[in-house]
Amino acid sequence: MKGSRRNRRDRHGKANHRMPGLCPDGCTIRMRSKGEQYSQIFRRAGIAWGKDDVHKAMAILQEGLTLAVGRGDTNVARVMQADLERYQRFAVDGDVDLSR
């Protein structure tokens, strides 16, 4: 398996565990970008919203908001805060304007 990352060896024949994407045990580590993490949060919240689980959607958005504020991503935090407020209005009123 010439292209296999798991079987790579250094020039002395020893397993090279410092390769990017591999942990010392040989398992793969997938580092995700911030954009991928935020989009997953929005997707999870949207799926919960679609299943009429508004409280779970709000919890997911609150988790994402905490993450964005902690990282200093103000634009993402602003969008998540707006969506969270919209979900909260829906939880109270039962009616939501999805046009914004």
Given a cut of 50, whether residue 50 has pLDDT beyond it is yes
DSSP state of 10: -
Question: Alpha-carbon distance 75 to 78, whole Å?
Answer: 5
pLDDT 10s digits, 3-26:
555 555 556 666 555 544 445 555
Q: What pTM did the predictor assign? A: 0.61
Structure token digits, residue 43: 């997707």
> Phi, psi (5° rounding) for residue 9?
-125, 155
Q: Which amino acid does the sequence have at 76?
A: V
Given a cut of 70, whether residue 34 has pLDDT beyond it is yes
pLDDT 10s digits, 63-91:
999 999 999 999 999 999 999 998 888 88
For residue 77, the model assigns a pLDDT of 94
